[in-house]
Structure 1
Amino acid sequence: MRYQTILHYIEAAARYGSIRRAAEELALTPSAMNRRIQAFEAELGEKVFERLPQGVRLNPAGELLLFSARKQIAEMDRLRSQIADLSGMRRGHVSVACSQALAPYFLPAQVMEYNAQYPHVTFNISVSDRGAAEHALADFSADFALIFGATHLPEVEVVLQAQQVLHVIMARDHPLAEQDCVRLRDALHYPLALPTKAFAGRQMLDLAMARSSVPHRLLLESDSFEFLKSIVAQSQALMVQIPIGTPTDPDGAIVSRKLDSRDVPHGTLSVLQLRGRNLSVAAARFLDQVIRALEARFHVT
């Protein structure tokens, strides 16, 4: 426990690539944080950061230290959560990495449901791509991850998989909004506002369009789902999304309709955890709640 504070400082400086920004987050002066880190480096007998003109970067010794630090911090969080649970305080912290589709609707609802029962538990929700989410599990910066189309590192285990059928999102008054299920050939008659090719949903659609004889017109690409939703709300354009990321307001400006599974096969949303890691009480409870919510809505394996 002796080094918990300084390890938090080093973790924050590495995360931001800047001692100044890390100090602001932790309500310290940059000079005070820098002195603490330098004193730790002197005691360790090794530098852990490369000092650069625009910030700091971990050197190889620092990379080893950070991995160990995150592991210790996670274990201490788990211990604190267990002790708080014994005392009835039910405190703790939960870190989740997720695909962008889970950020607007599903996870906020889950966090608020959990918060109503355990108001002293805090959260960090990080929107990540597949690779970054898996690495966040491996370096202990995320307790678990919810990723669409995940490719799995050997040290990451699949807790649950939920089937996701691709949907099209459109303006409420769009001609296709009258249909419950949309054929791809009908959707391709309208301009497309699509996520970039890095997203699994876009990759699924591209494969389906490559098999179709109907030409398509790409209006724009963006890595922001919120921007894409704004575009389709104001136009005849269509975007694609998995059902866990589709709008939930029945009176909203946009609606979603399922793409026919004959045209586009389903994908998989994976709940991932570092193999062999024991989660804190708070994180384990939240993971159980998320799993129950997915089981209630989707076909899971």
Structure 2
Amino acid sequence: MLPPGLRCFLAVAQAGSMREAAQRLRLAQSAISRRIQQLEEDLGVQLLERGARGVALTPAGEILLHHGREATHLTERLRADLDALRGVRRGHVVLRLVESFAACGLASALASFRTAYPAVTLDIAVVGSAAILAGLHERTCHLGIAFNPPADPEVEVLASAAEPLAVMLAPHHKLAGAATLTLAELAGMPLVAPSHLGSSRALFDTACRAARVPIRPVLETNSAHVAAGFVADGKGVAVMVPRVLALHLEQGKVKAVPLADPLLNGSRIALLARRGRRLPAAAEALSASLARVLEQAA
């Protein structure tokens, strides 16, 4: 319901380039460029500075971006009101989530949701917790599932569950029979840790400093498959969220041993939405399905 020129401008502002915006909107770059040029002529200002490395917003573009996001929010509220009148028949929901829930939990939530609302389309991507919070702030996603999100006055926690880190190791590993393990017991072992891009790595590093245990991972990765292969071959151990390796745990290729550390045991995974934002009916329905899965995990 947004004017075509404004819709194209918002897509370019979010993507940072005409090319990526064209892919998202499934339009030719030339068509997007023409619509934005027409919008600039109508408004009498330059909105974008075009360069070899992409585009940047002018001061006028920054102002339009703010008002454009507000217009998008109002459009969503209108659709939510109309959807409430006729029930959830259609809609489009944008969800951003961490890999652990994508690996274990998402399929169950989507199965029940898709059965009830087959006409609703979804945009789901795995990103880091910081990107999820940014997306909620900027209203580029309806819902987010993040690991250990910090308190944020603009973000509401709709549901949560415990998400402790654990030691992942091969079933034949010498420590596989332990009831719990300490960080000190992992010192000196070949260890896999999440990459610095994730919130779980920041938590792990904080716990090591608090315990005064100098652990330097031999491998850092954001890939569950890389970590599972390293661990299953008995080359070392990994400290990560067990949910990430749920399939490998079910198949018996790896084993999870709890960590006796209050910091690492107190982490949580949370379903988030922007506070005060009225979600479309389709997003509300997906939120309920995701919340049920988290409550079952809790």
Aligned to 1:121: 120
Query: What's the offset of the Cα at 1:202?
Result: 2.5
Aligned to 1:257: 257
Query: What's the offset of the Cα at 1:193?
Result: 0.8
Amino acid at match of 1:135: A
After TM superposition, the score normalised by the length of structure 2 is: 0.85
Contact 1:169 1:239 in 2 (8 A): yes
Contact 1:131 1:151 in 2 (8 A): no
Q: CA RMSD for the aligned pairs? A: 2.8
Aligned to 1:163: 162
Aligned to 2:292: 292
Query: What's the offset of the Cα at 1:283?
Result: 0.7
Query: What's the offset of the Cα at 1:220?
Result: 1.6
Contact 1:78 1:281 in 2 (8 A): no
Indicate whether 1:14 and 2:34 are aligned.
Answer: no
Aligned to 1:52: 51
Which whole-Å CA distance do the structure 1 matches of 2:214 and 2:17 have between them?
Answer: 48
Amino acid at match of 2:175: L
Aligned to 1:65: 64
Contact 1:191 1:216 in 2 (8 A): no
Amino acid at match of 1:221: E
Q: Bigger shift: 209-218 or 234-243?
A: 209-218
Q: Bigger shift: 137-146 or 56-65?
A: 56-65
SS at match of 2:96: strand
Once the two structures are aligned, what percentage of the paired residues are identical? 32
Query: What's the offset of the Cα at 1:141?
Result: 0.6
SS at match of 1:91: coil
Which runs of 5 or more structure 1 residues have no equivalent in the other structure? Answer: none
Superposition map of 1:1-301 within 5 A: 1=1, 3-80=2-79, 83-84=82-83, 86-87=85-86, 90-188=89-187, 190-210=189-209, 212=211, 216=215, 218-248=217-247, 250-261=250-261, 264-298=264-298
Which whole-Å CA distance do the structure 1 matches of 2:216 and 2:276 have between them?
Answer: 47
Query: What's the offset of the Cα at 1:182?
Result: 3.4
Query: What's the offset of the Cα at 1:34?
Result: 0.9
Which whole-Å CA distance do the structure 2 matches of 1:64 and 1:223 have between them?
Answer: 37
Q: Bigger shift: 167-176 or 286-295?
A: 167-176
Q: Would the alpha carbon gap of residues 13 and 200 (structure 1) be closer, same or farther in structure 2, given more than 3 Å must change?
A: closer
Query: What's the offset of the Cα at 1:212?
Result: 4.7
Deviations 1:87-146 (A, max 9, x none): 456211111222232222222432233112211112222333333222211111111222
Which whole-Å CA distance do the structure 2 matches of 1:126 and 1:10 have between them?
Answer: 22
Query: What's the offset of the Cα at 1:287?
Result: 1.0
Contact 1:247 1:255 in 2 (8 A): no
SS at match of 1:182: coil
Amino acid at match of 2:122: F
Query: What's the offset of the Cα at 1:82?
Result: 5.0
Deviations 1:211-252 (A, max 9, x none): 557664521222434432332233332222224434145215
Query: What's the offset of the Cα at 1:280?
Result: 0.7
Contact 1:97 1:146 in 2 (8 A): yes
Amino acid at match of 1:48: L
After TM superposition, the score normalised by the length of structure 1 is: 0.84
Deviations 1:66-102 (A, max 9, x none): 3333343344345445545644562111112222322
Which runs of 5 or more structure 2 residues have no equivalent in the other structure? Answer: none
Which whole-Å CA distance do the structure 1 matches of 2:187 and 2:271 have between them?
Answer: 32
Which whole-Å CA distance do the structure 1 matches of 2:213 and 2:274 have between them?
Answer: 43
Q: Bigger shift: 133-142 or 149-158?
A: 149-158
Query: What's the offset of the Cα at 1:17?
Result: 2.2
Query: What's the offset of the Cα at 1:42?
Result: 0.8
Which whole-Å CA distance do the structure 1 matches of 2:54 and 2:71 have between them?
Answer: 25
Q: Would the alpha carbon gap of residues 177 and 115 (structure 1) be closer, same or farther in structure 2, given more than 3 Å must change?
A: farther
Q: Would the alpha carbon gap of residues 275 and 8 (structure 1) be closer, same or farther in structure 2, given more than 3 Å must change?
A: same
State the number of aligned residues. Answer: 297
Q: Would the alpha carbon gap of residues 23 and 193 (structure 1) be closer, same or farther in structure 2, given more than 3 Å must change?
A: same
Amino acid at match of 2:133: E
Contact 2:192 2:220 in 1 (8 A): yes
Contact 1:193 1:221 in 2 (8 A): yes
Q: Would the alpha carbon gap of residues 294 and 25 (structure 1) be closer, same or farther in structure 2, given more than 3 Å must change?
A: closer
